[in-house]
């Protein structure tokens, strides 16, 4: 009974003593006993009704440690009753269930090893246990003590630093009733929050004759000292000479451990709920739903394991089961009637039990999974109809027809509907849709459709699934070997090539007036297609799209504004995935197995959503994690009454002819033959490591190829990438944003020519002057913003009394000019460094604020084309009807309605897009500047000036409207 009384005291003291340690959160040492007591277990009841669960340690179970109960106090030391009522009892913190570190992560494994070594250390070296708040460090100290041979005869006590600071007599006093005098040999003194310990007291502790450990003459101290610290201890390192150090990694670095930890806690909570009168009944089995696991793994747990445990315990109480209701209704969390022993009850702990609403989680993460919200979308993705079937069955023939019509049809936009759509629909629409669907154009782009077609022809039909490393079976008609990407070359020169290729195309467009020339427009399309085809024929996957395509560069840069993104759940990828099929692909041989696994996974999720047990889409967890009491049962994995259909994969065939390929070279055809694999990410991305949308071509391959269902299509706020402090600052994107601003200026050459009375040779035709002026206008934004930015930064530095450059870095100004081109190569170059970190400035990083502005300016530029000519597209198609076909053309033209927009509407859209772009850019510069501590005043100023100029130019175009 005295043991139980001590347990009661320890629970109460633990709660009281833990408060200062963690502030507003309950102590790690306090919660578990409280839950344990409430839910029972192998328990003894005290008069107050508070119970403590006693459980042998795993090492004790394995025969390693003699300890399986609260430590008995040496009778010789118990004289005077100090152990039952005195200072020592106040600090007995541990019930005998200290779970230690569980989980399959490498960090947890390493820690368990250290824990075992420390427990078995014959010299009982003192320890410093370090780790962030909430990593249950004191728990680990307790575990080490309980697993040591001395635990059978001596206790571990755990005062906090603040308690010792307030009353140093607790350690040693004149009556010699302090801890250092009264603790029996073999005890452990675990000092929590040792960082706050008075340095004098720390010295006393380390140097005391009973705790002192001398590395020169190693001998086990009578009392083992363990210092629990959340940061390096502020003392001389010589003082801690001879201490062993154990560091507990934060939970965010070992997300693999979340699942076993939660399962363990849920298992014990479920057991305790049904325990009554010392008899254990498993009444509630609680399984963590996948969505809940995803939510937990997506969260970074600033308070680590402690926070996780609190969440789970609270969630468990929130389970609205009859069992829980009944059990919690009683004052002692026990059933009132013996006959009401509940049957085993299976429950799912879902995300909404952990967080009140999934929207709360989504709002916190600013991401909503569209595949969960619209399940039909997931099925659509799995059918492979989008984008493959669409690309090969629709886009490919339509594009061929388009090119033919551009070459063979009328050459001006008024009379060629295809040319009209290209310049008056495609451009405004693609710019308009960037904030909505981002780079979705690239998922079905005709250029790469032909590139992939050629690639598959080179490889052979069935090997198309092996592209990207998945392997595959060759058939007749193929045999080519694709090269690996020259990554270093591409990273270095790819952005330069892309920029100048785009630059050249813009000059070509302007000088040769491509928008009014069908053949040249077709050549432009074929030029980009040619690049895609050549690269795809030589290199694996979509090298062209990742590094070289100018349209892809523009799409990627503007897709940072998009409200869609593809990302995966970090925890699942790190904790559960070993094969990375999202990136490597699924080979033909494993395709059916893969589909079956996905089918089971989503079936499980459906069951979970309905609150039932799944059919078994998951593997059993690694047994090592169950070293502690972990008897969670997953139940039957197979429903015997309704066994899952066993899919027999069809025999692989190599009899597919080249004609089959030409008729239907798609996934649907492949599925019919049963030889379909999945190729994984064609641009070599890993959805878990995507930093922003720039490189992802939204092909959805990873969604299909991920067997764990981790890759997701998210909805998010527009421009989310731009505001993230950890997304990279890319010189290529900055340069492209300014180039597209230059594109808008270039299109205003006519207006400028009139204003400045320039000769016609300067503003039209293939002349040197026109070429020069075009180059100047294309480069004007980047040069002017750079100069404004530098002047503003220099002015700021001078007026604030700072130094222009750091001492010893006088060459930096020169270097910033020398390396101007480096800005196009993804290498951030801090142009001006000051001594004060908060004033550091990065031109490239801040240049992202110009992306929204470039978007607004381009929309403002292209929209009038749509409003004035695009809406006349039917007339343009009608004019393509040959005159020889009688009066069909004129009849059609006479009956077709004339559709056009009022000029006021056009002006409104232009002004609105410019304002949205300017405000969006200013907002981004504010957020980015603050988060990175860069100076952003110059960006603001330059953007406002540019916005005002752009608005003036637009309004100048329509001045007649306002004059009237
Ligand atoms: S990057 Fe270029 S070639 Fe590739 S899909 Fe996009 S537009 Fe097409
Ligand atoms: S996205 Fe899927 S396949 Fe890729 S690493 Fe994550 S779990 Fe594995
Ligand atoms: S496979 Fe790669 S490119 Fe395609 S959606 Fe996934 S991450 Fe993006």
Provide mean pLDDT across the span 266-294. Answer: 66
Among the bound ligands, the one closest to the CA of 705: 2
Residue 934 burial (CB count, 10 A) = 22
Residue 638: which pLDDT band, with cuts at 50, 70 and 90?
very low
Q: Please tell me the distance from the alpha carbon of residue 830 to that of residue 936, in angstroms, as a whole number.
A: 14
Most confident of the following: 50-64, 563-577, 946-960: 563-577
Torsions phi, psi for 926 (to 5 deg): -65, -50
711-715 and 51-53 beta bridge pairing: unpaired
Provide mean pLDDT across the span 301-325. Answer: 73
Residues 740-753: pLDDT tens digits?
Answer: 999 998 988 887 78
Q: What is the pLDDT of residue 178?
A: 80
- The closest of 816, 824, 819, 817 to 731, measured between CA atoms, is 824
Q: Is 44 helix (H, G, I), strand (E, B) or coil?
A: strand
Provide mean pLDDT across the span 890-904. Answer: 84
Helix (H) or strand (E) holding 397: helix 396-408
- The closest of 751, 740, 742 to 774, measured between CA atoms, is 742
- Rounded to an integer, what is the distance from CA 506 to the centroid of its chain? 36
- The closest of 844, 792, 797 to 823, measured between CA atoms, is 844
Q: Is the peptide bond before 387 cis (omega within 30 degrees of 0)?
A: yes
Residue 80 clears pLDDT 80, i.e. is over it = no
How many residues appear in the chain? 964
Across 143-147, 242-246, 567-571, 698-702, least confident range: 567-571
More confident site: 550 or 755: 550
Classify domain 257-365 by CATH number. 1.10.8.60
Query: Could you tell me the distance, in angstroms and rounded to a whole number, from the CA of residue 686 to the centre of ligand 2?
Result: 8
Tokens read off for 826: 């993804």
More confident site: 710 or 606: 710
Cα dist. 737→499, 563, 740 in Å?
Answer: 11, 19, 5
Query: Could you tell me the distance, in angstroms and rounded to a whole number, from the CA of residue 963 to the centre of ligand 2?
Result: 61
Domain(s) of CATH 3.40.50.300: residues in the chain: 2-249
Query: Could you tell me the distance, in angstroms and rounded to a whole number, from the CA of residue 439 to the centre of ligand 3?
Result: 11
Q: Which atom of ligand 1 is nearest the CA belonging to 532?
A: 3
Across 324-338, 359-373, 482-496, least confident range: 324-338
Torsions phi, psi for 567 (to 5 deg): -145, 165
Torsions phi, psi for 129 (to 5 deg): -105, 115
Q: What is the pLDDT of residue 960?
A: 58
Q: What is the pLDDT of residue 81?
A: 32
The 3-state DSSP composition of the chain as helix, strand, coil percent (nearest 5) reads 60, 5, 35
Nearest-CA residue for atom 1 of ligand 3: 681
Provide mean pLDDT across the span 311-333. Answer: 57
Domain(s) of CATH 1.10.8.60: residues in the chain: 257-365
Q: For the chain, what is the mean pLDDT?
A: 71
Query: Could you tell me the distance, in angstroms and rounded to a whole number, from the CA of residue 376 to the centre of ligand 3?
Result: 20
Query: Could you tell me the distance, in angstroms and rounded to a whole number, from the CA of residue 645 to the centre of ligand 2?
Result: 25
Nearest-CA residue for atom 5 of ligand 1: 442
Across 223-227, 395-399, 846-850, least confident range: 846-850
Query: Could you tell me the distance, in angstroms and rounded to a whole number, from the CA of residue 447 to the centre of ligand 2?
Result: 29
Across 301-305, 793-797, 835-839, least confident range: 835-839
More confident site: 546 or 831: 546
Query: Could you tell me the distance, in angstroms and rounded to a whole number, from the CA of residue 69 to the centre of ligand 1?
Result: 67
Q: Please tell me the distance from the alpha carbon of residue 69 to that of residue 51, in angstroms, as a whole number.
A: 14
According to DSSP H, which parts of 674-767 are helical? 701-705, 720-723, 731-746, 749-755, 760-763
Residue 103: which pLDDT band, with cuts at 50, 70 and 90?
confident
More confident site: 52 or 854: 854
Query: Could you tell me the distance, in angstroms and rounded to a whole number, from the CA of residue 534 to the centre of ligand 2?
Result: 31
Query: Could you tell me the distance, in angstroms and rounded to a whole number, from the CA of residue 674 to the centre of ligand 3?
Result: 24
Most confident of the following: 19-23, 475-479, 688-692, 835-839: 688-692
Among the bound ligands, the one closest to the CA of 391: 1
Mutate which of 399, 445, 449 for ligand 1 pocket (most atoms within 8 A of beta carbon): 445
Q: What is the pLDDT of residue 260?
A: 86
Among the bound ligands, the one closest to the CA of 564: 3
Across 307-316, 451-460, 653-662, 887-896, least confident range: 653-662
Residue 460 clears pLDDT 60, i.e. is over it = yes
Contact criterion met (CB below 8 Å) for 838 and 935: no
- Cβ–ligand 3 distance for 685 under 6 Å, the answer yes
According to DSSP H, which parts of 642-705 are helical? 658-663, 667-673, 701-705
Residue appearing with tokens 């004191």: 138
224-229 and 127-131 beta bridge pairing: parallel
The residues, ordered by sequence, that sit 6+ positions from 9 with a Cβ below 8 Å of its Cβ are: 89, 90, 92
Q: What is the pLDDT of residue 396?
A: 92
The residues, ordered by sequence, that sit 6+ positions from 13 with a Cβ below 8 Å of its Cβ are: 89, 90, 91, 92, 93
Four-residue CA torsion sign, 331, 333, 334, 340 = positive
Among the bound ligands, the one closest to the CA of 545: 1
Query: Could you tell me the distance, in angstroms and rounded to a whole number, from the CA of residue 260 to the centre of ligand 2?
Result: 20
Mutate which of 453, 544, 559 for ligand 1 pocket (most atoms within 8 A of beta carbon): 544
More confident site: 536 or 889: 536
Query: Could you tell me the distance, in angstroms and rounded to a whole number, from the CA of residue 552 to the centre of ligand 2?
Result: 25
With pLDDT > 90 as the criterion, what percentage of the chain qualifies?
A: 19
- Cβ–ligand 3 distance for 223 under 6 Å, the answer no
Tokens read off for 494: 């790819």
Query: Could you tell me the distance, in angstroms and rounded to a whole number, from the CA of residue 566 to the centre of ligand 3?
Result: 7
Residue appearing with tokens 């075992």: 116
Q: Which atom of ligand 3 is nearest the CA belonging to 681?
A: 1
Among the bound ligands, the one closest to the CA of 683: 3
Q: Please tell me the distance from the alpha carbon of residue 311 to that of residue 355, in angstroms, as a whole number.
A: 8
- Cβ–ligand 3 distance for 442 under 6 Å, the answer no
The residues, ordered by sequence, that sit 6+ positions from 109 with a Cβ below 8 Å of its Cβ are: 624
- The closest of 882, 853, 875 to 950, measured between CA atoms, is 853
Q: Please tell me the distance from the alpha carbon of residue 537 to that of residue 555, in angstroms, as a whole number.
A: 23
Query: Could you tell me the distance, in angstroms and rounded to a whole number, from the CA of residue 813 to the centre of ligand 1?
Result: 38
Tokens read off for 647: 């899919």
Query: Could you tell me the distance, in angstroms and rounded to a whole number, from the CA of residue 594 to the centre of ligand 2?
Result: 13
Residue 534: which pLDDT band, with cuts at 50, 70 and 90?
very high
Q: What is the pLDDT of residue 854?
A: 92
Instruction: Look at domain 2-249 and name its CATH class.
Output: alpha beta
Mutate which of 581, 689, 690 for ligand 2 pocket (most atoms within 8 A of beta carbon): 581
Query: Could you tell me the distance, in angstroms and rounded to a whole number, from the CA of residue 164 to the centre of ligand 1?
Result: 67
Cα dist. 925→733, 794, 854 in Å?
Answer: 15, 19, 14
- Cβ–ligand 2 distance for 710 under 6 Å, the answer yes
Provide mean pLDDT across the span 348-352. Answer: 75
Q: What's the DSSP call for residue 346?
A: E
Query: Could you tell me the distance, in angstroms and rounded to a whole number, from the CA of residue 446 to the centre of ligand 2?
Result: 28
Tokens read off for 302: 């600033």
Nearest-CA residue for atom 4 of ligand 1: 545
Contact criterion met (CB below 8 Å) for 108 and 254: yes
Pocket of ligand 1 (CB under 6 A): 442, 445, 447-448, 532, 544-545, 549, 551-552, 555, 697
Residue 89: which pLDDT band, with cuts at 50, 70 and 90?
low
Q: What is the pLDDT of residue 389?
A: 82
43-45 and 51-53 beta bridge pairing: antiparallel
Across 383-397, 714-728, 784-798, 814-828, least confident range: 814-828
Query: Could you tell me the distance, in angstroms and rounded to a whole number, from the CA of residue 583 to the centre of ligand 2?
Result: 8
Cα of first residue to Cα of last residue in the chain, in angstroms, is 99
Residue 338 clears pLDDT 60, i.e. is over it = no
Contact criterion met (CB below 8 Å) for 850 and 734: yes
Q: What is the pLDDT of residue 669?
A: 32
Cα dist. 727→368, 848, 879 in Å?
Answer: 20, 11, 49
Q: What is the pLDDT of residue 393?
A: 87
Contact criterion met (CB below 8 Å) for 33 and 52: yes
141-152 CB burial, b ≥16 within 10 A, e <16: bbbbbbbbebbb
Four-residue CA torsion sign, 150, 153, 158, 161 = negative
- Cβ–ligand 2 distance for 572 under 6 Å, the answer yes
- The closest of 473, 702, 492 to 582, measured between CA atoms, is 702
Query: Could you tell me the distance, in angstroms and rounded to a whole number, from the CA of residue 713 to the centre of ligand 2?
Result: 13
Residue 830 clears pLDDT 70, i.e. is over it = no
Q: Which atom of ligand 1 is nearest the CA belonging to 529?
A: 3
More confident site: 831 or 364: 364
- The closest of 377, 366, 373 to 291, measured between CA atoms, is 373
Q: Please tell me the distance from the alpha carbon of residue 521 to that of residue 411, in angstroms, as a whole number.
A: 9
Residue 779: which pLDDT band, with cuts at 50, 70 and 90?
very high
More confident site: 879 or 80: 879
Compute the CA torsion angle 286, 291, 296, 299 (nearest 10 deg): -170
Residue 576 clears pLDDT 80, i.e. is over it = no
Q: What is the pLDDT of residue 831?
A: 38
Contact criterion met (CB below 8 Å) for 252 and 135: no
Provide mean pLDDT across the span 783-810. Answer: 59
Across 351-365, 378-392, 903-917, least confident range: 351-365
Q: Which atom of ligand 2 is nearest the CA belonging to 568?
A: 1
Which residues does residue 129 pair with via DSSP β-bridges, in sequence order? 228, 246
Q: What is the pLDDT of residue 671?
A: 33
Among the bound ligands, the one closest to the CA of 542: 1
Q: Which atom of ligand 3 is nearest the CA belonging to 687?
A: 7
Q: Please tell me the distance from the alpha carbon of residue 918 to that of residue 746, in angstroms, as a whole number.
A: 20
Provide mean pLDDT across the span 315-341. Answer: 47
Q: Please tell me the distance from the alpha carbon of residue 392 to that of residue 446, in angstroms, as a whole number.
A: 9
Q: What is the pLDDT of residue 238?
A: 76
Q: What is the pLDDT of residue 796?
A: 61
- Cβ–ligand 2 distance for 406 under 6 Å, the answer no
- The closest of 466, 442, 493, 470 to 696, measured between CA atoms, is 442
Q: Which atom of ligand 2 is nearest the CA belonging to 708?
A: 7
- Cβ–ligand 3 distance for 683 under 6 Å, the answer yes
The burial class, CB within 10 Å (0-12 / 13-18 / 19+), for 205 is buried
- Cβ–ligand 2 distance for 290 under 6 Å, the answer no
Q: Which atom of ligand 2 is nearest the CA belonging to 572?
A: 7
Query: Could you tell me the distance, in angstroms and rounded to a whole number, from the CA of residue 779 to the centre of ligand 3?
Result: 33
Mutate which of 290, 686, 710 for ligand 2 pocket (most atoms within 8 A of beta carbon): 710
Angle at 903 between CA 902 and CA 906, to 5 degrees: 100
Residue 670 clears pLDDT 60, i.e. is over it = no
Q: What is the pLDDT of residue 39?
A: 28
Across 145-149, 469-473, 918-922, least confident range: 469-473
Nearest-CA residue for atom 6 of ligand 3: 702
Q: What is the pLDDT of residue 68?
A: 31
Four-residue CA torsion sign, 146, 149, 154, 160 = negative
Q: What is the pLDDT of residue 31?
A: 28
The residues, ordered by sequence, that sit 6+ positions from 704 with a Cβ below 8 Å of its Cβ are: 381, 382, 384, 678
Residue 131 clears pLDDT 60, i.e. is over it = yes
The residues, ordered by sequence, that sit 6+ positions from 261 with a Cβ below 8 Å of its Cβ are: 102, 103, 305, 308, 309
Q: What is the pLDDT of residue 625?
A: 35
- Cβ–ligand 2 distance for 711 under 6 Å, the answer yes
With pLDDT > 70 as the criterion, what percentage of the chain qualifies?
A: 65
Among the bound ligands, the one closest to the CA of 688: 2
Query: Could you tell me the distance, in angstroms and rounded to a whole number, from the CA of residue 686 to the centre of ligand 3?
Result: 8
Provide mean pLDDT across the span 192-220. Answer: 86
- The closest of 210, 204, 151, 201 to 180, measured between CA atoms, is 210
Mutate which of 568, 571, 681, 704 for ligand 2 pocket (most atoms within 8 A of beta carbon): 568
């Amino acid at each position: 009974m005295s043991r139980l009384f001590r347990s009661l005291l320890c629970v109460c003291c633990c709660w009281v003593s833990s408060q200062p340690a963690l502030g507003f959160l309950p102590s790690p040492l306090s919660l578990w006993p409280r839950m344990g007591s409430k839910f029972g277990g192998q328990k003894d009841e005290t008069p107050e009704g508070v119970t403590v669960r006693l459980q042998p340690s795993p090492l004790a179970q394995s025969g390693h440690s003699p300890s399986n109960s609260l430590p008995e106090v040496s009778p010789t030391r118990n004289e005077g009753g100090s152990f039952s009522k005195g200072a020592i009892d106040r600090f007995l913190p541990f019930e005998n269930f200290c779970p230690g570190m569980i989980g399959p992560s490498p960090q947890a494994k390493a820690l368990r090893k250290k824990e075992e070594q420390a427990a078995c250390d014959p010299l009982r070296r003192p320890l410093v246990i370090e780790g962030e708040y909430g990593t249950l460090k004191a728990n680990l100290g307790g575990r080490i003590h309980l697993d040591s041979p001395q635990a059978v005869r001596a206790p571990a006590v755990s005062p906090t630093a603040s308690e010792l600071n307030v009353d140093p007599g607790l350690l040693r006093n004149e009556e010699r009733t302090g801890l250092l005098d009264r603790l029996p040999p073999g005890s452990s003194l675990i000092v929590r929050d040792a960082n706050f310990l008075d340095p004098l007291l720390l010295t006393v502790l380390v140097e005391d004759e009973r705790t002192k450990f001398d590395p020169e003459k190693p001998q086990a101290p009578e009392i083992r000292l363990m210092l629990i610290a959340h940061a390096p201890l502020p003392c001389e390192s010589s003082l801690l000479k001879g201490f062993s150090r154990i560091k507990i990694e934060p939970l965010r670095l070992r997300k693999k451990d979340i699942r076993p930890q939660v399962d363990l806690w849920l298992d014990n909570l479920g057991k305790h709920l049904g325990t009554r009168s010392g008899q254990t009944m498993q009444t509630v089995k609680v399984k963590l739903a996948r969505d809940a696991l995803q939510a937990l793994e997506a969260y970074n747990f600033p308070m680590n394991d402690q926070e996780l445990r609190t969440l789970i315990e609270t969630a468990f109480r929130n389970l609205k089961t009859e069992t829980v209701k009944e059990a919690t209704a009683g004052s002692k969390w026990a059933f009132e009637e013996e006959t009401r022993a509940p049957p085993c009850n299976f429950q799912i702990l879902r995300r909404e039990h952990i967080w009140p609403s999934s929207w709360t989680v989504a709002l916190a993460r600013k991401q909503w999974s569209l595949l969960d919200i619209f399940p039909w979308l997931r099925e659509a993705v799995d059918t492979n109809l989008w984008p493959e079937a669409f690309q090969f069955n629709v886009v490919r023939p339509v594009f061929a027809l388009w090119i033919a019509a551009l070459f063979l049809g009328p050459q001006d936009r008024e009379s060629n509907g295809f040319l009209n759509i290209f310049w008056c629909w495609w451009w405004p629409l693609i710019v308009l849709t960037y904030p909505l669907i981002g780079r979705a154009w690239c998922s079905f782009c005709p250029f790469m459709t032909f590139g992939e077609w050629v690639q598959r022809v080179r490889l052979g039909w069935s090997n198309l699934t092996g592209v990207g490393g998945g392997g595959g079976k060759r058939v007749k008609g193929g045999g080519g070997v694709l090269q690996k990407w020259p990554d270093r070359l591409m990273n270095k020169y790819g952005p330069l090539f892309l920029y100048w290729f785009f630059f050249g195309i813009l000059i070509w467009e302007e000088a040769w007036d491509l928008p009014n020339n069908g053949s040249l427009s077709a050549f432009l399309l074929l030029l980009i297609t040619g690049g895609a085809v050549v690269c795809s024929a030589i290199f694996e996957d979509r090298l062209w799209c990742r590094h070289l395509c100018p349209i892809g560069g523009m799409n990627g840069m503007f897709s940072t504004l998009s409200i869609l993104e593809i990302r995966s759940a970090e925890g699942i990828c790190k904790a559960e995935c070993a094969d990375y099929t999202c990136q490597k692909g699924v080979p033909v041989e494993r395709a059916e197995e893969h589909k079956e696994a996905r089918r089971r996974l989503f079936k499980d999720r459906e069951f979970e959503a309905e609150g039932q047990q799944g059919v078994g889409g998951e593997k059993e967890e690694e047994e090592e994690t169950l070293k502690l009491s972990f008897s969670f049962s997953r139940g039957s994995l197979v429903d015997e009454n309704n066994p899952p259909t066993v899919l027999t994969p069809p025999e692989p065939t190599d009899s597919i002819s080249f004609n089959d390929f030409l008729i239907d070279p798609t996934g649907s055809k492949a599925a019919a033959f049963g030889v379909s694999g999945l190729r994984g990410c064609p641009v070599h991305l890993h959805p878990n490591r995507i930093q922003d949308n720039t490189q992802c071509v939204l092909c959805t391959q990873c969604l299909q190829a991920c067997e764990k269902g981790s890759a997701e299509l998210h909805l998010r706020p527009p421009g989310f990438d731009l505001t993230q402090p950890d997304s990279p600052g890319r010189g290529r994107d900055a340069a492209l944003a300014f180039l597209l601003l230059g594109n808008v200026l270039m299109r205003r050459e006519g207006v400028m020519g009139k204003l400045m009375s320039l000769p016609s040779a300067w503003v039209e035709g293939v002349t040197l002057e026109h070429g020069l002026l075009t180059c100047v206008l294309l480069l004007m934004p980047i040069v002017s913003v750079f100069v404004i930015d530098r002047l503003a930064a220099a002015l700021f530095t001078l007026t604030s009394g700072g130094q222009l450059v750091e001492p010893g870095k006088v060459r930096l100004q020169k270097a910033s000019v020398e390396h101007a081109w480096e800005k196009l190569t993804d290498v951030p170059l801090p142009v001006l460094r000051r001594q004060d970190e908060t004033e550091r400035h990065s031109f490239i990083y801040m240049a992202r604020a110009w992306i929204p502005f470039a978007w607004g300016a381009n929309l403002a530029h292209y929209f009038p084309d749509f409003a004035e000519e695009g809406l006349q597209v039917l007339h343009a198609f009608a004019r393509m009807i040959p005159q020889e076909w009688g009066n069909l053309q004129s009849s059609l033209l006479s009956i077709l309605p004339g559709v056009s927009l009022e000029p006021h509407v056009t002006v409104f859209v232009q002004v609105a897009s410019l304002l949205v772009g300017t405000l969006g850019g200013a907002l981004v510069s504010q957020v980015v500047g603050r988060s990175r501590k860069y100076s952003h005043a110059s960006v603001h100023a330059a953007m406002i000036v540019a916005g005002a100029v752009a608005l003036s130019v637009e309004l100048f175009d329509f001045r007649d409207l306002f004059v009237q």
